[in-house]
Chains A and B, each alone.
Chain A
């Protein structure tokens, strides 16, 4: 691996801004100048790709308005007697509104888990970047190894362990493992090393600020772009996680939405209405996340390039 590079902290550096403006202008000039043939080829390729990525989502949207019988009996890419509101009501009232409970559980697991993971990662990453102590590299290397171990290989042993101490099938069983993000620590360390200047810390110390206060007031603010990335990354990771809740939870009241929907799907052959609810529930559940993803996509960019790619 190449050496860690120093990068400027993301911010409002006027030189950088001017350079960016110049670059944008150049890009505009270049675009208008691209030959028509190139533009047509590029556009058609992009359209084909968009079709591939969007058609399944479109299918899900169309199907969420269908009854189970129409799901099997009518052409999949077009509407048939759409009753979105009725289906939505069925969805949220089925089994005493268990769907909403699953949704809330997912929010709880992903929201709380990601928030705590971010704070823990920030503190650990900052300590690893800005303090010299014995065993620092050893700790960091172990954490790095943690990044490389697949979560599902850990889930089974964790389940056995948690069963032993009576923690399986509780909210904690999913929450506790979710707050540990080795990748977050890794990202935070790299980012802190690059964006929190030592001189600033020394100055704060001379002013008499305690270490805790320096971290809270100075470091966290300077690290905030990376923190947003860690939060988002972990949020999506927990939201999408299936194996851990699958092995940990047997009480359906504790299920996150992914597990809930797959349990509906599994039972649908006995209760056909569940096909309709599974498809509708899937559509409703992915909507907010997809919107969130698209709106926040720039945070994926900033954090990941500024930090992780420097290793």
Chain B
């Protein structure tokens, strides 16, 4: 109990200290004598790190072995329904967030509104720019500040049950038209090609992204919102046809019912991101050797448009007492070859560090994927991502709106395009509510 209250007090002091410059708000504690300073030589500290990358504790253990003075303690947080961000926002408001946390690219602007992230450029982060893939680095830069260390992206592809596709004599679909045809054929065998996961806002954004949508951009002081655009409408109309034709299920992905389906062969295909490989392996171990990967289906035959789903950073929260050490750890975690190797094995996504792919365990044939060097698919996908995509500052509620409105449309008679129109309106309301200037594209 004493241990807890001490760490609370120290954190409070620190956050109050940082808040002095950042108007974080009152935190109670008044003794702001010490600011976030460099660790004295020999001083032992512990950094708290919230993340949901499976198996990341192995990489952290390696760091802890090499850095006895700067110990990192991992705490796993649930990424389901944005629960992790609710927890982080609550902790920020309460004045005792962890030192470090996994934050997706899509949520950085949101935390900036909340004054939740430290500008790491103040702690020497800018010099690491060259170590990272250009577009991923750009995702953490706002207004000249560096607000996180890139970790990984989630280039999209397609996982499919190679054995069943061959048995049914179906080619992995190369275009979305092929996808619909395949969906019909697969239904005849009693299985489903996949599901339309209305509760997965990130996935919906990624399929719109592939079709060339631009949901957000800024113009001077103004946000321009283009969720209800032509590309998004085209994509959702396509999926609406599949849903209404009962060619796909409508259950949420990466949840128990879906795992039961991919294990049993009731669902035989997944338009998913690279980090999905670990989830399939972990939750459907009995299907080893039966899966393969292929590129995402295209809107135009022969094109190679791709997109990204998820993609994370390691960010440092305001209140961290030792930001310099936190930055050192975050950079090591995401660039050290040994660390990257362990993270890849856990399934963290596509490395943000340059030269992360070649020679790593990503670049190997996988028995689970039928001996395929399946990551070559994702390496190509990663290169094809339209990197001009930008995220808005209210991603968590936006994903919730997408879920709410699309589910309502599925349950009733409203069209998916009506739903996306409502989402656009709701998102703009949210942003106005936050005191931002907003305009429709």
Contacts and interface: CB of A to CB of B under 8 A. Distances in A.
B29 interface: yes
Interface in B242-258: 254-256
13 contacts: A159-B94, A160-B93, A163-B93, A168-B93, A169-B8, A170-B8, A171-B1, A247-B90, A253-B4, A263-B78, A269-B80, A270-B279, A271-B76
Contacts of B27: 166
List 7 A-B pairs, minimum CB-CB distance, nearest first. A266-B78, A168-B94, A166-B28, A250-B91, A163-B94, A267-B78, A270-B54
A162 interface: yes
Nearest to B13: A166
A101 B75 CA distance: 15
B227 to A, nearest CB: 27
Given A169-B96, A170-B8, A250 B279 contact: no
A267 B77 CA distance: 7
A131 interface: no
Interface string B220-254: 00000000000000000000000000000000001
Interface in B58-117: 75-80, 83, 87-88, 90-91, 93-97
Interface residues on A, range: 20 to 34
Given A73-B263, A272-B259, 15 more contacts: A72-B283, A159-B93, A159-B94, A164-B26, A168-B95, A169-B8, A169-B94, A169-B96, A247-B90, A248-B94, A263-B78, A266-B83, A267-B52, A267-B79, A271-B76
A252 B75 contact: yes
A135 B27 CA distance: 37
Nearest to B252: A269
Contacts of B264: 73
Interface of B: 1, 4-5, 8, 12, 26-29, 52, 54, 75-80, 83, 87-88, 90-91, 93-97, 254-256, 259-260, 263-264, 279, 282-283, 285-286
B83 A72 contact: no
Given A163-B93, A163-B94, A253-B4, A267 B76 contact: yes
A180 to B, nearest CB: 21
Interface of A: 69, 72-73, 159-160, 162-166, 168-171, 247-248, 250-254, 263, 265-272, 275
A267 B87 CA distance: 13
A250 to B, nearest CB: 4
B94 A250 contact: yes
B359 to A, nearest CB: 27
Given A169-B8, A254-B4, A263-B78, A271 B95 contact: no
Nearest to A263: B78
Contact of B256 (A72, A168, A252, A253): A72
Contacts of B259: 72, 269, 272
A158 B284 CA distance: 43
Contact of B90 (A250, A267, A271): A250
Nearest to A266: B78
Contacts of A165: 28
Contacts of B256: 72, 268-269, 275
Nearest to B16: A166
Contact of A271 (B12, B83, B91, B282): B282
